Amino acid sequence: MDLFKDMDHVSKYLGRPIEVELDTGKRRSEPISGNLVTVDPVTEGIIIARFKHISDAEPTWFDVIPRTAIVNISLKHNFDDTCREYFADFGMSSTSEQSSPPDVERQEIIRKRGEMYADYFRSHHIEVEELGDGVYVVCGNVKLLPPYKKDCFHCDMPLILNRILRMVERIPIQDDIQPLY
Amino acid sequence: MSTEEEKRQAVRARCRERYLWILAKLSGNPVSVHMQGGGRVSGELLAVQGSGEHILVSGLQTPIGVLDKAVLRSSDIVRVTADWRLILDRQT
């Protein structure tokens, strides 16, 4: 089966148990089994989910396998501990699929949190620019993205990023806005 | 664009989204990298290049020592394994 040439059929194999023969650089290829989570159309790599025990509802490991290491992929018909008959729920809800309406209250909390940080930086004479879509640029270099938590600050210069994060740690926590951490 | 082509594009987009979502989840978490030739190293996954050609790892533990930061070529990698339960526990 060549998943990469026939993306039409990829959706049929998603979630299904597969066996992947891997090129390990040794004489014999090594097989690995798991449920196919996705096939990347750009890099042609795949991600599989593997289970530890037959009684586990959630997978224990995710394996990212680059295209260069794949010798062959085949559907598994005999299930064992490592895979399930079908597995697709790994906690992601696709934005391209129909999802529940946005939580207005949560969005409001996030918006207030962003404004709080913007006001804090401005009160300390640090320039803050709002780009749109809720993105703020602090000090001309640090981007702050929703939902405005610690890992939502992005900057190419670690020194500046660390200074901004140290400032943020000193911001008092407000009851109606969820804490940063 | 024909309906069939639109469907193909939708499948490709969904697959790509899943791939990137999982890589984003793996970033910042410990991974085990199985290398060509049978070697295995471990470290914290920092980032994956958009083209997939290289991955950036920190604290790479190798048989000859620990590297603070390392860039690994995907062509040298057999698979990158992450403990999904550990990642979920860290997020809760």
Residue A175 lies in a domain: no
- B14·A96 Cβ contact <8 A: yes
- What is the rounded distance in angstroms from the CA atom of residue A74 to the CA atom of residue A21? 9
- A92·B11 Cβ contact <8 A: no
Q: Count how many domains chain A has.
A: 2
A90 contacts in chain B (CB < 8 Å): 22, 84
Considering the domain architecture, whether residues A38 and A87 belong to the same structural domain is answered as: yes
DSSP sequence for A22-36: E--SSSS-EEEEEEE
Q: Identify the domain boundary among A95, A111, A141.
A: A95
Instruction: Flag whether pLDDT at A8 surpasses 70.
Output: no
The whole domain housing A110 covers 102-169
Interface check for B71 against chain A (CB to CB < 8 A): the answer is no
Considering the domain architecture, whether residues A77 and A126 belong to the same structural domain is answered as: no
Instruction: Flag whether pLDDT at B92 surpasses 70.
Output: no
CB atoms within 10 A of CB A133: 7
Considering the domain architecture, whether residues A74 and A141 belong to the same structural domain is answered as: no
Considering the domain architecture, whether residues A28 and A45 belong to the same structural domain is answered as: yes
- Which SS3 state, helix, strand or coil, does residue A163 take? helix
Considering the domain architecture, whether residues A11 and A89 belong to the same structural domain is answered as: yes
Considering the domain architecture, whether residues A23 and A73 belong to the same structural domain is answered as: yes
B79 contacts in chain A (CB < 8 Å): 22, 32, 63-66, 69
Share of chain A above pLDDT 90, in %: 18
Q: Identify the domain boundary among A71, A95, A119.
A: A95
B16 contacts in chain A (CB < 8 Å): 40-42
Closest CA to A138 of A151, A150, A125: A125
Q: Identify the domain boundary among A95, A112, A147.
A: A95
Residue A115 lies in a domain: yes
Considering the domain architecture, whether residues A112 and A75 belong to the same structural domain is answered as: no
Give the H or E element holding residue A17. strand A17-22
Residue A69 lies in a domain: yes
Residue A181 lies in a domain: no
What one-character DSSP code corresponds to residue A97?
A: S
Residue A176 lies in a domain: no
Interface check for A32 against chain B (CB to CB < 8 A): the answer is yes
- B22·A63 Cβ contact <8 A: no
From residue A78, alpha-carbon distances to A2, A3, A32, A81, A175 in Å are: 20, 20, 14, 10, 54
Residue A85 lies in a domain: yes
ipTM value, please give it.
0.92
Considering the domain architecture, whether residues A108 and A127 belong to the same structural domain is answered as: yes
Substitution target from B79, B85, B88 for chain A, most A beta carbons within 10 A:
B79
Question: Least CB-CB distance to A47: which of B10, B11, B22?
Answer: B22
Instruction: Flag whether pLDDT at A181 surpasses 50.
Output: no
pLDDT single digits (tens) A26-50: 877 788 999 999 999 888 899 999 9
- What is the rounded distance in angstroms from the CA atom of residue A18 to the CA atom of residue A1? 11
pLDDT single digits (tens) B10-66: 888 888 988 999 999 899 999 999 999 888 999 999 999 888 899 999 999 988 899
Domain boundaries, chain B: 3-91
CATH of residue A58's domain is: 2.30.30.100
Specify the amino acid at residue A12.
K
Instruction: Flag whether pLDDT at A135 surpasses 60.
Output: yes
Q: Say if residue A147 is preceded by a cis peptide, omega within 30 of 0.
A: yes
Helical pair A158-169 and A104-123, crossing angle rounded to 10 deg = 110
Query: Across the A/B interface, how many CB contacts are shorter than 8 Å?
Result: 117
Residues sharing a CB contact under 8 Å with residue A51, sequence separation 6 or more, in sequence order: A34, A58, A59, A60, A81, A82, A83, A84
Among positive and negative, which fits the CA dihedral A139, A140, A141, A146?
Answer: positive
Assign A105 a pLDDT band (cuts: 50, 70, 90).
low
Query: A46: which 2 tokens?
Result: 């795949």
Residues sharing a CB contact under 8 Å with residue A81, sequence separation 6 or more, in sequence order: A51, A52, A53, A54
| Chain B nearest CA to A122, separation (Å) | 31
User: What's the CA angle centered on B41, arms B37 and B46, to 5 degrees?
Assistant: 125
Q: Are A111 and A123 in contact, with CB atoms under 8 Å apart?
A: no
Share of chain B above pLDDT 90, in %: 55
Considering the domain architecture, whether residues A14 and A78 belong to the same structural domain is answered as: yes
pLDDT at A94: 45
Considering the domain architecture, whether residues A81 and A107 belong to the same structural domain is answered as: no
- B85·A58 Cβ contact <8 A: yes
Query: A23: which 2 tokens?
Result: 């090129």
Considering the domain architecture, whether residues A20 and A83 belong to the same structural domain is answered as: yes
Considering the domain architecture, whether residues A65 and A111 belong to the same structural domain is answered as: no
Interface check for B23 against chain A (CB to CB < 8 A): the answer is yes
Interface check for A140 against chain B (CB to CB < 8 A): the answer is no
Residue A174 lies in a domain: no
pLDDT at A89: 63
| Chain A nearest CA to B28, separation (Å) | 10
A31 → chain B, closest CA residue: B78
- What is the rounded distance in angstroms from the CA atom of residue A114 to the CA atom of residue A110? 6
* Higher-confidence position of B91 and A78: A78
User: What's the CA angle centered on A101, arms A129 and B91, to 5 degrees?
Assistant: 70
Is the CATH number of domain B3-91 2.30.30.100?
yes
Residue A179 lies in a domain: no
